[in-house]
Structure 1
Amino acid sequence: MMAVNVTGVFMTAQAVARQMIKRKQGGSLVLIGSMSGTVANRGLICPAYNASKAGVIQLARNLAAEWGEHGIRVNTISPGYIVTAMTAGLFDAFPERRKDWPNANMLGRLSYPNEYRGAAVFLLSDASSFMTGADLRVDGGHCAW
């Protein structure tokens, strides 16, 4: 979990930044965190996942500090619970989660992958040109309770 979610993200971001610096061309990187990097998930035993996503959020802050002088911005998107093929399998194994997870946020529903497009476009575009080292949490209000 740590190898993929932290080390893999770090190595990929580092490779991209090297090219940006070499070309003297800044830009924006968006790393995928999770609301689980901010809070412990009630009823789930997932310390490795949560720690890895907290690592991604902190990694982005540190990379933003290091690469800002090169015009490279680094931010994270932290999704809430998303309906995916993986979560569909979890719902088969743990049917109560299909009801419990939506009830854990202020909108009372799960999200879908397409709901994160706008956040990604915003962070990659000049609309967020003064934003770096930030975590954009898109979780239906889950962490605001």
Structure 2
Amino acid sequence: MISNPNEPLTHRPLAGFYGRQFDLTGRTAVVTGGGRNIGLACAQALAEAGAKVVITGRSDSDTAERGRDELAHLGYDASVLKFDVTKADEVEKAAEIVADQFGGADILVCNSGAGLGRFPAEDLADEAWMQTLDLNLNGVFRCCRAFGRQMLTKKKGAIINIGSISGEIVNRPQFQSDYNVAKAGVHHLTKCLAAEWADRGVRVNAVAPTYIDKPGRWGKDDDSIFSTWMSSTPMNRQGEPHEIGSVVLFLASDASSLMTGAIVMADGGYTVW
């Protein structure tokens, strides 16, 4: 393994080099909203690669604990940390805890987010607009800022933000301008931070998933909606959480050492058409 992933190789790698690039042994990975669906898949992928995983969740939910228990059943240890990404003071306190207990974060996956409703723009209330942006965009910024400081101090680290195809296109047939704008903001924030922090050893990339098959998937049971989504997808299917976890593992590892500011489309071809 190369000693500094930011230094280019000047020779041909030795045998076994490429496989070792995915080894995350000794690194601490914080996964926000890591107790289920995409977040849990990311947590498992990073744990399998050897990282010490910290799953975060809100204090009013036991989702993080359930995710930890699922990983334990598979033979992987994970810690749980409770905080709300919409509250700056809680995010800062959580970062202090990670610094004290684990020596700071080496990997951050900003996964917390949700579509909070689907309304035509003319019916979208200010409160709903602000809530969507606060969770999906401001929360990502708060986490990147707090845990990014730790990486800048170490002069190394990898941040992976979970964006969406909604940050690149306007979804149909549903109306969700607030969510689309928030995810577009996540994509551009990713590029901004990548540009600011690249020469200080911190890489920032994003994954933009398509519709992911998960319990309670809105629209899946409505053929007028679901058929529109699938007819817009060359692969003619939804994604699976593990398919996003695999991309996150790549972006968290030294295998992607030349990548920063990238928005990786994991969309079954949705944005091609």
Please state which band the TM-score falls in when normalised by the shorter chain: over 0.9
Provide, for residues 51-70 of structure 1, a one-character-per-residue CA deviation record: whole Å limited to 9, x for no partner: 00000000000001111121
Q: Corresponding residue for 1:61? A: 191
- Rg (Cα) greater in structure: 2
Q: Which runs of 5+ in 2 are unaligned?
A: 1-131
Tell me how far 1:91 sits from its aligned partner.
2.8
Q: 2:208 aligns with which of 78, 98, 123?
A: 78
Once superposed, what is the RMSD of the aligned Cα atoms?
1.3
Q: Percent identity?
A: 39
Q: Corresponding residue for 2:137? A: 6
Provide, for residues 79-135 of structure 1, a one-character-per-residue CA deviation record: whole Å limited to 9, x for no partner: 001112241x4334x342232222211101111111112211110111110100010
* TM-score normalized with structure 2 length: 0.50
Q: Corresponding residue for 2:249? A: 121
Per the alignment, in what secondary structure is the counterpart of residue 55 of structure 1? helix
Kindly tell me the number of residue pairs found equivalent between the two proteins: 142
Q: 1:91 aligns with which of 180, 201, 220?
A: 220
* TM-score normalized with structure 1 length: 0.92
Which of structures 1 and 2 has the larger relative contact order (alpha carbons within 8 angstroms, sep 6+)?
1
Name the structure with the higher helix share.
1
Q: Give distance in 2, aligned partners of 1:95 and 1:105.
A: 15
Q: Corresponding residue for 1:45? A: 175
Q: Which runs of 4+ in 1 moved over 2 A?
A: 89-92, 94-100
Query: For residue 243 of structure 2, what is the amino acid of its counterpart?
Result: E
Per the alignment, in what secondary structure is the counterpart of residue 220 of structure 2? helix
Q: Give distance in 1, aligned partners of 2:149 and 2:155.
A: 10
Per the alignment, in what secondary structure is the counterpart of residue 159 of structure 2? strand
Q: Corresponding residue for 1:104? A: 232
Tell me how far 1:73 sits from its aligned partner.
0.3
Q: Is the 8 A contact 2:207 2:264 kept in 1?
A: yes
Tell me how far 1:25 sits from its aligned partner.
3.5
